[in-house]
Amino acid sequence: MILDVISALCIIGAALMSLAAGIGALRFPDLLSRMHAASKPQLFGLVLVMFAVGLQTLHWGPISTMILIVLFQLFTVPVAAHMIGRAGYRTKHLRRSMLYRDELDDAVARAHARDVAERERAAAESASAAGEQDAAADRTTHHDDEPDAGR
Amino acid sequence: MTADDVIPQSTLDTPLAQISGLVVGLIFLAAAIIAIIRIVRGPSILDRMIATDALLATIMCALGGLLAFTGRADLLPVMLVISMFGFVGAVGVSRYVSRADLRTTSRYRRMGREDHRTGSIGTVEGVEPGVPESRHGSADGGERA
């Protein structure tokens, strides 16, 4: 009986967290704040629900499967959030006025300077070289093509 | 011992379980409807993808709640599959939006093409490496969607 009450409370907590995530995704003004709000129930709500299910079953068969579920969420949720945040930053889906500090800005500025210098060098090379050497330049290795500045 | 023996069937017999099940179901329904509203209204495709992730997490939690209340052990593989493959959509959409083919089109930049200004990609700080014009239309339209 007391286990039923505890598991019911856990499931109600997970449901409220899902509701909070929905409200946050609906009401927040920015992509990054929406992502912050929406990623809350993905792990903690799931852990609460799994705890409730584990209290209801008390057997190792379903509990091991649930540990596996939580482990997969633990691996995949940061990947998805990171890629969405990176895509949002690259395509300027964020409001600069809502940021206190943009720590990526310095790295992006450095990468931009390097990019401009590389492009000027490539333009100078192609201006001095003949036309058929462009095909040869196409087959060279590009180890520093896109400066991976983490943006 | 099958899964039906492990989890007791039909624990929705006490009034506590019925009332809490109703409340939990209504809260999950409200959360799903709010996430769907954001999916419909989202200004960009990334907002829609975030709301889709929230909806998927809500569905997972709701399936877990259903499993806890009714003891349907056949919902465990469903949750396992959702937790494994739920992030594929987010990864695909974000790669599509962030123009990950910059790494392949940068060779055109190295070839010293003169038309840097044509076919602009919206990268940070206005860097516009040149791409062929044929790819420009669809990708830029998808970015604004």
Residue A120 burial (10 A CB sphere; 0-12, 13-18, 19+)? exposed
What pLDDT does A143 receive? 52
What are the extents of the domains in chain A? 2-95, 101-128+143-151
Q: Which residues of A touch B51 (CB under 8 A)?
A: 25, 34, 38
ipTM for the predicted complex: 0.73
Closest Cα in chain B to A78? B87
**DSSP category for residue B101:** T
Q: Are B51 and A38 within 8 A, CB to CB?
A: yes
What pLDDT does A149 receive? 52
What pLDDT does B134 receive? 46
Q: Are B65 and A57 within 8 A, CB to CB?
A: no
Q: Are B112 and A8 within 8 A, CB to CB?
A: no
Positive or negative, the CA dihedral A55, B8, A44, B21 is negative
What pLDDT does B32 receive? 93
The residues near B98 (Cβ < 8 Å, ≥ 6 apart) are A83, A86, A87, A90, A91
Q: Which region among A109-113, A116-120, B126-130 has the lowest average model confidence (pLDDT)? A: B126-130
DSSP H helical ranges for B1-145: 3-6, 15-41, 45-70, 75-85, 88-97, 102-110, 133-144
d(CA A127, CA A131): 9
What pLDDT does B107 receive? 47
pTM greater than 0.95: no
For testing contact with chain A, the best of B56, B61, B95, B101 (most A CBs within 10 A)? B61
The residues near A106 (Cβ < 8 Å, ≥ 6 apart) are none
Q: Is A136 on the interface with B (CB under 8 A)?
A: no
Q: Using CB atoms, pick whichever of B37, B51, B86 lies closest to residue A76.
A: B86
What pLDDT does B33 receive? 94
What pLDDT does A93 receive? 73
Give the other-Cβ count within 10 Å of B100's Cβ: 14
Give the other-Cβ count within 10 Å of A114's Cβ: 13
Q: Which two tokens stand for residue A99?
A: 């940021």
* pLDDT digit string, tens, across residues A41-54: 788 889 999 998 88
Q: Are B31 and A15 within 8 A, CB to CB?
A: yes
Per-residue pLDDT at A26 exceeds 60: yes
Nearest-CA distance B130 → chain A (Å)? 11
> Could you tell me the mean pLDDT of each successive run of 10 residues in chain B, 145 residues long?
49 77 92 92 86 91 88 87 88 80 49 45 45 44 42
Per-residue pLDDT at A92 exceeds 90: no
Nearest-CA distance A114 → chain B (Å)? 11
Nearest-CA distance A76 → chain B (Å)? 6
Mean pLDDT of chain A: 81
Nearest-CA distance B85 → chain A (Å)? 8
The residues near A145 (Cβ < 8 Å, ≥ 6 apart) are B103, B106, B107, B110
Give the other-Cβ count within 10 Å of B95's Cβ: 14
Long-range CB pairs of B110-115 (<8 Å, 24+ gap) are B110/A122, B110/A137, B110/A138, B110/A140, B110/A142, B110/A145, B111/A122, B111/A126, B111/A134, B111/A137, B111/A138, B112/A122, B112/A123, B112/A125, B112/A126, B112/A127, B112/A129, B112/A134, B112/A137
Q: Which residues of B touch A146 (CB under 8 A)?
A: 102-103, 106
